[in-house]
Structure 1
């Protein structure tokens, strides 16, 4: 284990001893962020949502430093694992969004195909009205029996 990892582990341990919104805790969290960023050991990916994932990773890890297990992995590995999880979540959300959107398709022959044309129309309301009128007439014819 190198000096950086030792320092990061020490900071995480100290962070967990301070109250949630204390100045000392915030300062130690800032030190962790600065050290990790300067080290260049954070996972990098060229995606449009990388910065969002990075922000979510920092928010989560700064709010839950007690979840770090020094016996299992290094601090940078813990951060990178969380960053990759955030990236995966955003990538999956983007795919779900893309699949949800209906787009107009143009065939090779130049015909335009709109998938919304294949959505069945709602049934007419006339049968419902007929049932309603029949029920109403039946009730009216039975009023004298009440």
Structure 2
């Protein structure tokens, strides 16, 4: 029996990498995560085929803009080893990497974004454990339950 599919929300600033960029390239390594909890979600929790809500943070209208899927198992983030990278980590070595990533593959853009303001309107239904709307939560990668995934996708406005 195969393991149950998991779901995630992954944030990216659209000026750095947007859902349109993912649509253009198809698959992309999710580099630059420098939070241990987010790293652990990618390294220990994600499996190929898991669903991803692609969230634009620091945008005019922050929200969910598309769907993606986990396209690889976790592997060391190569940016940690490159001195010229803003994600360089002098304590990381090839033998003992500190940061891991997964590749993310494009599935589709939403017909219209699901804005954070609308997501907040459904806070009671999403539950207190939903980190996106919890005060002080700033993770760039966070788990989404199956029920939360269904609820969030039900908010998509069809054109």
Tell me which protein shows more helix as a share of its residues: 1
- Fold-level similarity (TM above 0.5): no
Tell me which protein shows more strand as a share of its residues: 2
Instruction: Select the structure with the greater relative contact order (CA < 8 A; seq sep ≥ 6).
Output: 2
